[in-house]
Structures are given as structure tokens and as C-alpha cells.
Amino acid sequence: MKIILRIVGLCIAIMTWSMVLHAQDSTQIQAQAGDIDFASKAIASNNFEIQAANIALAKSQDQNIKQYAQMIVDDHTAAGNELATLVKNKNWQLRTPDKNYSQLIDELNNADQANFDRTYVDLMAKSHQDAITLFKDASTGMATTDVDLRKFATDKIPAFQKHLDLVKNMQPANINTPKDTLKKTSPGAANPAKLKPVRPSLK
């Protein structure tokens, strides 16, 4: 009888422990919802910037643009590898973000030579501004609960801010606007093209 009671007690203990573990797992999945969302968006944004930079390295004729693009490839590859390792160690399953970057990549690929650098600079400014907002929300805990993920976000903000500041100050060399190609004339000056030749009068 004692043996039967021990077996029953052991079964109850196992069942109770299983229920506790299941409850912990459910709580953990729910708590990580914000973390999964941030990590998914961060990796998608990071991959877009690397892909766009590689296009710039291939298409741009501006050395400043090329240097900037190479910096983006180096810094964002390192950030992406760090985040991928963090996600792998935590055994997280990321989702596909709602934002589709393929249209932006097509815009870069289809940009003609005269407008490519300006298109790239504008895309990088917008992308980095969005990334900084995303990472700041994660670093303050507004969008995340995982301590390691918060630290990752906090550590990357200064580099992203540097990228944004640099790209805002860029003036692509191959952009010729009308004000650059036309000679400037004062508002009161006559346009030589509109002046009629003066004919000498006969006396």
C-alpha cells in the first residue's frame, strides 16, 4: 500500500512540475512578444541597409558615397552578426516584418546615374532615422523586456546616429541642379539672349 501511495505521490509531483513548466513557458513566450518584434524589425532594417550599400558601391561614381557605403556594410554586418548570435542563443523564432524593403531596393536599382546618389542618400537618411527611433524604444524598455536586447540596442544607437549625421551633410558630386548649371545673374540684369542688336542709324 505504501508503495502504491509513493507511486501516486510521485505521479502527482511530476504532473504538478509539468504544469509549472508549461505555465513558465507560456509566460516567457508572452513576455518576449516585444523582443521578437524588435529583433525581427532590426534585422530586416539592417539587411536592407547592407543591401542598399552594396548597390551604392557598385553604381555610385562618388568616392564619398562609396566610402560611406563601405562603412555601412562594415558596421551593419557586425551589428547584424551580433544580433543574430543573440537571437540564436535564446532560441527565438523571428517573424517576417510587415515593412517590405523590396520596393526601396528596386528604386535604387532602377535609379539612373544622374539621380542615384541623391536617391541613396535620401533613403539612408530616412532608414537611419527610423532605426534610431526603433532602437531607442528598445533601449528604454518601452518595446522590449530582455536585458541583453536592451543593451544591444543601447550600444548601437551612437553608431547609427553617426551614420545619420554623416549622410545628412552629404552633397553628392554628380547631382547637377538647375542652379548649378545655369550662370547666376542679378535680378535687375538684362538677359543677353533677349537683347536685340543695336543697328547704327544713317544720317
The total domain count for the chain is 1
pLDDT tens for residues 136-161?
Answer: 999 998 889 999 999 999 999 999 99
Cell numbers representing residue 121 in the block: 542618400
Look at residue 3 and tell me if it is in a domain: no
- In a domain, residue 50? The reply is yes
- Residue 169 located in a structural domain: yes
The domain of 100 spans 31-173
Q: Does residue 49 sit within a domain?
A: yes
Angle between helix axes 147-168 and 113-139 (nearest 10 degrees) is 150
In a domain, 17, yes or no: no
The reported pLDDT for the residue numbered 7 is 54
Spell out the residues 6+ positions from residue 42 whose beta carbon is closer than 8 angstroms to its own.
83, 131, 134, 135, 138, 153
Q: What is the pLDDT of residues 75-84, one digit of tens each?
A: 999 999 999 9
Residue 131: give its domain's CATH number.
1.20.1260.10
Segment 22-47 mean pLDDT: 73
